[in-house]
Structure 1
Amino acid sequence: MPPRRSHKKSRAGCRRCKSRKIKCDEIHPRCGNCLKHGVDCDFEHPEVLTELQTAPSPSTPASSAGFRSPVVRASVPAFSFASAAGPSFAAPQLCRPPATPTMSLTTPAGHRLLELRLMHQYTAMTCKTFTFTAPVTEDIWKITVPNLAFSGSQHLADAILAVAALHLRSLTPNDKDLVRASHAYMAASLAEYSATLTRGIDNTNAEALFLTAALIAFQSTATRVFMKDELSLGRGGNVDGEERERNPAAGCYAIPFSWFHSFQGVKAITAASWQYLRASPVVTQVINSQVVLQLDFTSGPETFFGHLLDGLEEELAAMRPASHNNSNNPDSQPPTPSVNDGNGNPPLAPTPEAFNTTHNPNQDLITSTRQAYQHAVAVLNWAHKIPHKGAPLAFPATVSRRYIELLEERQPRALAILACFFALLKSMDGVWWLQGMARREVLGVVSLFNSDFFGPDAYARWWPHLEWAMRIALYEDGSGGGSGGVIPAEVWGADWFAEEEALAAEGVSHGGTDSYFRHIEMLSQMVSAVQSIPPVPE
């Protein structure tokens, strides 16, 4: 057996490498390991010694560490809101740039001041931006939600701070510390949220999970405000031939699927934990504060967005096998199911998944496609009448999974509907987490029709269905600041306040806000908790 090679044991390595029990290359002013992981090195920043000396050892159980800021936690994984497939961006580095003359966020005083600043921002301003219809819920977001977080919900506490950091970032966009903090807190919230879901929902965590899901949806939406116009589907402008062949839309505008995943997640959590949430005064007030969805499934020119369904039957007919494409086949025109809640009242958000079909698999797909389009257009027609009440935000939360699949397939009709949804957000342009959204997203969607993806005739064919969305997206109120107030009826196509009064009167005869509970009861009975909760990004 050959003798062991002699080596000189160095004691001059940085403290972080020593704590991790790895060899330090002792390069100054920042060792290679710290440079690789993007963390402060005590060679360069001696002040981090305090943090390293007080941090729990690797063998310390996580529970004994208590509520520790993600800013000073060990590396947290990055998460993508776009899909459940995995991370889509690198974990934000939480070190202070060497030239920044401010206090490092990795020092105890630094992260304490940051969290104090974020909590003040949340309670003073951010919580007020979640309410469109009922001021009573402001106290819930301002007082009750933080108290729930303080009582032991790490994911809710981190979600609160993440949204507050993003709000502050909208006011001071050049503050790099806020950029890193918003990413880090939300990544930490998602990690704990996922772990809690894995352990299971019960009466002790259902409220906090529901509220965290809502804050994740806000964060996912608001993050889009800070993104530059996207020209690819996650690969910058460098799209190789193989990727372009697999995904012809690569290199074009990227649809924000994160909106749908996050808002659908709120619906899924609600359905899965309804047995606990239905007795929660906090959740019931939040739910009851929403404007009741009163959907009219009438199609045709008599509804504002009825034109989006023009030619639908011909499109569906092309999906049928030749053997089914004849008038003698009883399955060629399946009847549209009656949609109500069993009491003659319009449902809150009927989804195509709720209908049972008895046709062959291809016919099932045709039926679900028809219902997906009809439902999406019905939501647009309703939201168009009272957009100032936050009604358009019901769209990503209530559309069916089939509609999202149609978007993923880049179906022109689904994209035209999406453009109209984004145009509806112009009514809320004054809200920080929706500011500029209508203009950017509508222009992005329309750019797909003007690209090679759909062919040379697509733009001319679909322009009549996109014209209103473009007009609203580009509308300026004369103040130079876009539109955040009431858009004139002759431009918008409806008088918001007259329509609100009409819908309010109609809502009395339809049972008012308890329609929400009827729908949620039905939804929670249709799906099991395991099936209804979408996978959380890992």
Structure 2
Amino acid sequence: MADRKPYHPKRPHRKTRTGCRACKARRVKCDEGRPACRACTARQESCVYAIRPTAAPSSAVSSLGAGSDPSSPGAVALRARRPHAASVTQQPLFVAPGRDEIDMRLLWFYTTATYASFSTGGMRERSVDVVLKVNVVQHAFANPFLMNCVLGLSAMHMNQLGIRNMGVSRAHEIRYRANAVETYRKAVAAADPVTYPALLVCSLLLCALSTHVFRGDDAQPFAILDWMALWKGIGTIIDITRQPRVFRSGVAALLFRPPIDLDASARCVPAYLLFMVASIKPGDPDFDLVQRYYEALQFLGSLYLELRNGFSHMLVLRVVTLPTFLPKQVIDAAREKRPRALIILAHYLVFLKFRVMSCWWMDGISEHELPNVARCIGPDWADVMRVPLAAMCISSNRDLVRLLLDDPDWDQPTTLQLEPLTSTCERELAIRAVMQEDAIARDAGEDKTKNVQVWPC
């Protein structure tokens, strides 16, 4: 009988399912090293890890409904119960010199979601997504004041969404914001031409970061006037930094303001507002401001003109940039609590009530300031305050348009993404995934709490 060959058990082998694409293509075991595995490093090849397929969010859309709020407890709980929900890597693959892990998480969140705060979608006039995600980050690494502003805005966005499991607290948000303002002021005082592109970007982002003053117990009445003055200050920064190097830096596209047809806009101003200014007689304290009031109404009319075409990214851009057009004298008159200036301000606040996903940082401004304006003006001006007073009780975008255009049957399609669960774009998937993981972590913590027995003394 032939001798049997000795039996050698096979070496245990754990199959990897998360290796890089190059190793998978060669059918070799990947050591899953980050940022590059050993095999790819030896071959001097690009090491790319595949993202595991996840369930499409359409089921969540159909279950929650197109008009649901992604941050509501019901929506978050429903997403947390889904076993095949999207997964997002929250840990940074590397930590840049001089930065910690929290910084890198915030930077990832900015390039994934927060950048869209200043995005205008696919507008031919101003498609700036690449500028926001690439050029701005490049300048941020070279300029600490801009990096603090970017990280502060990202932290503010996370806290606005109620995300807690990424280790970003309100204290982080406050620290980044304070550092951003302090270092920005020093950079403006230094006026180094090398920093001009970063100063322009920072002045823009600070306008969003500063809207924290409209929320919380510390919110002060008429803080919007300081906010509008900050917007006006961007023009000063543009005048200071108007050099060829700014346009070569790749960030000039962020400062685009759509031109306004003043004649067409003037025809769209509500008649009662025009009569309010036309009725000013010599001897009235506002007589010297008549021309400035007309100019402010012309700029306000551009919002009504754009609104007739329905919701669009151009409408949002006009609403956001309107303070940069308003005459300084009208803002100063509002500080003095002059009724006509406050009435013009109140009508602008109605446009700020529109719920637009990308401009999350504007949420709450109208709710905070419209009651302040109404209380300050009093009942004597009720006839010209009809629209702002009615808007205080309206939350639907469609009903706001009907009120502003005085058209109870208005119902037109929109080119702007208004509801957060009706899109499958990258940033919204990322936000939903992070919020879901946060909900799962909270549910796990609640389950542990339920298992703890409290014994009576």
Q: TM-score range by the shorter chain?
A: 0.5 to 0.7
Query: Does residue 120 of structure 2 align to residue 132 of structure 1?
Result: yes
Trace 1:293-304 onto structure 2 (pairs within 5 A): 293-296=260-263, 303-304=268-269
Contact 1:308–1:413 (CA under 8 A) maintained in structure 2: no
Match of 1:474 in 2: 393
Q: TM-score, normalised by structure 1?
A: 0.51
2:403 to 463, 472, 491: 491
Separation (CA, whole Å) in 2 of partners of 1:421 and 1:488: 13
Amino acid at match of 1:445: V
2:250 to 282, 286, 291: 282
Match of 1:440 in 2: 368
The structure showing larger relative contact order (alpha-carbon pairs under 8 Å, at least 6 residues apart) is: 2
DSSP 3-state at the match of 2:263: coil
Match of 1:307 in 2: 272
2:200 to 195, 198, 210: 210
Of all paired residues, the percent bearing the same amino acid is 18
2:134 to 121, 143, 154: 143
Match of 2:161 in 1: 171
Query: Does residue 85 of structure 2 align to residue 120 of structure 1?
Result: no
Gap change, CA 1:476 and 1:298, over 3 Å in 2: closer
- Number of residue pairs matched? 305
Mark the runs of 5 or more structure 1 residues left unpaired by the alignment: 1-107, 234-252, 321-364, 450-457, 478-482, 501-538
Gap change, CA 1:419 and 1:148, over 3 Å in 2: same
What's the offset of the Cα at 1:156?
Answer: 0.7
What's the offset of the Cα at 1:381?
Answer: 1.0
Trace 1:107-506 onto structure 2 (pairs within 5 A): 112-132=100-120, 134=123, 136-150=127-141, 152-172=142-162, 178-202=169-193, 204-221=194-211, 223-228=212-217, 230=219, 253-276=221-244, 279-280=247-248, 282-288=250-256, 290-296=257-263, 303-315=268-280, 317-319=282-284, 366-367=287-288, 369-386=289-306, 388=312, 389=314, 390=316, 391-430=318-357, 431-449=359-377, 458-459=378-379, 461-477=380-396, 483=397, 486-487=398-399, 489-493=401-405
Amino acid at match of 2:393: L
Gap change, CA 1:216 and 1:172, over 3 Å in 2: same
Bigger mean CA deviation after superposition, 136-145 or 490-499: 490-499
What's the offset of the Cα at 1:227?
Answer: 2.6
Contact 1:201–1:273 (CA under 8 A) maintained in structure 2: no
CA deviation vs aligned residue, 1:316-353 (integer Å, no higher than 9, x gap): 51248xxxxxxxxxxxxxxxxxxxxxxxxxxxxxxxxx
Separation (CA, whole Å) in 2 of partners of 1:487 and 1:165: 32
Contact 1:419–1:469 (CA under 8 A) maintained in structure 2: yes
Contact 2:115–2:132 (CA under 8 A) maintained in structure 1: yes
What's the offset of the Cα at 1:395?
Answer: 2.2
Gap change, CA 1:428 and 1:291, over 3 Å in 2: farther
Contact 1:306–1:377 (CA under 8 A) maintained in structure 2: no
CA deviation vs aligned residue, 1:277-331 (integer Å, no higher than 9, x gap): 663362332234x4332223876xx5333422424355351248xxxxxxxxxxx
Q: Please identify which structure carries the higher helix content.
A: 2
CA deviation vs aligned residue, 1:248-293 (integer Å, no higher than 9, x gap): xxxxx334223112211212111222234663362332234x4332
Gap change, CA 1:271 and 1:386, over 3 Å in 2: same
What's the offset of the Cα at 1:225?
Answer: 4.8
Contact 1:277–1:283 (CA under 8 A) maintained in structure 2: no
What's the offset of the Cα at 1:185?
Answer: 1.2
Separation (CA, whole Å) in 2 of partners of 1:400 and 1:312: 15
Separation (CA, whole Å) in 2 of partners of 1:172 and 1:472: 27
Contact 2:115–2:129 (CA under 8 A) maintained in structure 1: yes
What's the offset of the Cα at 1:413?
Answer: 0.5
Amino acid at match of 1:183: I
Match of 1:74 in 2: none
Contact 1:217–1:263 (CA under 8 A) maintained in structure 2: yes
Contact 2:353–2:395 (CA under 8 A) maintained in structure 1: no
Separation (CA, whole Å) in 1 of partners of 2:297 and 2:368: 22
What's the offset of the Cα at 1:190?
Answer: 1.7
What's the offset of the Cα at 1:435?
Answer: 2.0
Separation (CA, whole Å) in 1 of partners of 2:237 and 2:325: 13
What's the offset of the Cα at 1:471?
Answer: 2.3
What's the offset of the Cα at 1:194?
Answer: 1.4
Mark the runs of 5 or more structure 2 residues left unpaired by the alignment: 1-95, 416-457
Contact 1:295–1:382 (CA under 8 A) maintained in structure 2: yes
Q: TM-score, normalised by structure 2?
A: 0.59
Gap change, CA 1:413 and 1:255, over 3 Å in 2: farther
Amino acid at match of 1:219: L
Separation (CA, whole Å) in 2 of partners of 1:224 and 1:112: 28
Separation (CA, whole Å) in 1 of partners of 2:342 and 2:178: 30
Contact 1:385–1:496 (CA under 8 A) maintained in structure 2: no
Separation (CA, whole Å) in 2 of partners of 1:386 and 1:397: 17
What's the offset of the Cα at 1:211?
Answer: 0.2
The CA RMSD over aligned residues, in Å, is 3.3
Separation (CA, whole Å) in 2 of partners of 1:490 and 1:256: 25
